[in-house]
Amino acid sequence: MEEVRADTFYLRSFGCQMNDHDSERIAGVLVDLGFSRCAEPEKAAVLVYNTCSIREKADCRLAGHLGQAARLKRSDGRRVVVVAGCLPQSRQDELFREYPFVDVLVGPQSLHDLPELLRRQRTEQRAVSGFQEVTTAWSADLPRSRTAGPCAWLQITAGCTNYCTYCIVPYVRGPEASRPAREILAEVRDLAGAGVREVTLLGQNVNAYGKEPSFRGAESFADLLEAANEVEGIERIRFMTSHPKDVSPELIQLMSQPNKVCEHIHLPAQSGSDVILQAMGRGYTRAAYVQLVRGLQEPAGGDPRHRRTERRPRGGGLEGRQRGRQSRARADVRPGAALRSRRVSRLREGDGGHRPARGQRHGAAQRGHGGRAAETLLERRTAPPHAVNERSRRLPGLDRRGAGLTHRAPRPVPYQVPVRR
């Protein structure tokens, strides 16, 4: 058996784009400590799993990977198993009882403590953990190790204070906090200097940027986007995820103008039923959501020929003719969420699994561009041979195989709306 080097690590990320960003920071911290990354867990001395607890499926996937980690640790007891992210934040020491071979637990607000936790585990030879309830240090301030390419993640907020009745995010990511605009813009400039051409601004609710009482700046989310527009070298700006109730007229106006902000928005609908939306604590109605989508697609001065009409919902759905793509899944009320209504919990009994809404599985790219030529950004080569992953401004994630252009969704998103300009 090949001996495992002590200065190696394996990192596996689960869940959302923010977790992908945090994983780049975890990797950066470990590289800064002198570790080198391995592509296979069998070759690594430190096994790191950055977890998600938003959906039960992510928990199940992690269990399989931790089973492999347990076998590897039995073969070499010097291995260190680290579980990071939202799952340890929500379950904390319960995870140690369920997985006694785990050495380090660290929540998403405590990633800056990872070097000290590893040091303590090594010197004290016992399991250690670190959890903070609020954001006191930004993961974006940590060292970064990312795959070279034209696209990059950029954290602008952390946490959420909406407390939707089914959602665990406020309890694992803490209350909403906005990163100072000057730090965000400095990172945008640094990324541009490193060859990045497209940045995606990340947060659990990005368009609530700057709204919390403790924010010391004066910038709104639209102000931040306008400032990022001025950075030379950046050609595209995206953001995710948005809450419908926080989409401002200023943001809609900015997105309707020719600039670097892509004509595309992630806009979770959650339900087409006002009764369910109220039970979920979403803060908007179906009519308000439909009006918002139309406003995004028909800004002031827009061509009325491009009006999109909604079909009558079936079972509270939002099937419609607007250009974009939908992904639906059964409700997944997580342990620890402040569930206040049986109506929400009964949604769990519906059909499950992420799937595009009817009529959206094929041709979403063509509907998003109306059969016209579209500028695409070559992000990376993918399997099979001679395939590449491209990103258009309106629909990110397009596979080109030979001469054909087909829709590709690396991970389901709740609702994507191409914005009319």
pLDDT at 388 over 80: no
Please list, in sequence order, all residues whose beta carbon lies within 8 angstroms of the beta carbon of residue 371, skipping any fewer than 6 positions away: none
Entry pTM: 0.81
Average pLDDT over the chain, rounded to an integer: 80
pLDDT the model gives residue 63: 86
**pLDDT, tens digit, for every residue of 75-129?**
999 999 999 999 999 999 899 999 999 999 999 999 999 999 999 999 999 999 9
Handedness of CA 9, 13, 18, 21 (dihedral sign): positive
Q: Which string of b and e fits 83-115 if b means at least 16 CB within 10 Å?
A: bbbbbbbbbeeebbeebebbbbbbbbbbbbbbe
Query: Which residues sit opposite 403 in a β-bridge?
Result: none
Task: Return the minimum-mean-pLDDT range out of 17-21, 23-27, 268-272, 373-377.
Answer: 373-377
In the predicted structure, residue 405 carries a pLDDT above the cut 50: no
**Residues forming beta bridges with residue 12, ordered by sequence position:** 49
User: Which domains does the chain possess?
Assistant: 8-130 (3.40.50.12160), 147-418 (3.80.30.20)
The better pLDDT of the pair 294, 354 is held by 294
* pLDDT surpassing 80 at residue 311: no
Work out whether strand 198-202 and strand 151-155 pair parallel, antiparallel, or are unpaired: parallel
The predicted pLDDT at position 415 comes to 42
Q: What is the model's pLDDT at position 356?
A: 45
- pLDDT reported for residue 147: 85
Instruction: List CB contacts of 270: < 8 A, sequence separation 6 or more.
Output: 164, 276, 277, 280, 282, 414
pLDDT at 332: 60
Query: What is the mean predicted confidence (pLDDT) over 308-333?
Result: 49
* Residue-level pLDDT at 93: 87
- The DSSP bridge partners found for residue 82 are 48, 104
Half-sphere exposure of residue 26: CA atoms within 13 angstroms, side-chain side: 31
Higher pLDDT, 223 or 266: 223
How confident is the model over 409-415, as a mean pLDDT? 37
Q: What is the mean pLDDT of residues 65-72?
A: 95
Looking at residue 319, what is its pLDDT? 53
Give the total residue count for the chain: 421
The pLDDT tens digits of the residues spanning 286-300 come to 999 999 998 888 754
Region 154-183 average pLDDT = 94
| Predicted local distance difference test score (pLDDT) of residue 185 | 98
In the chain, what is the greatest distance between 2 CA atoms, to the nearest angstrom?
69
From 174-188, 195-209, 272-286, 346-360, the region with the lowest mean pLDDT: 346-360
Q: What pLDDT, on a 0 to 100 scale, did the predictor assign at position 149? A: 87
Position 224 pLDDT exceeds 50? yes
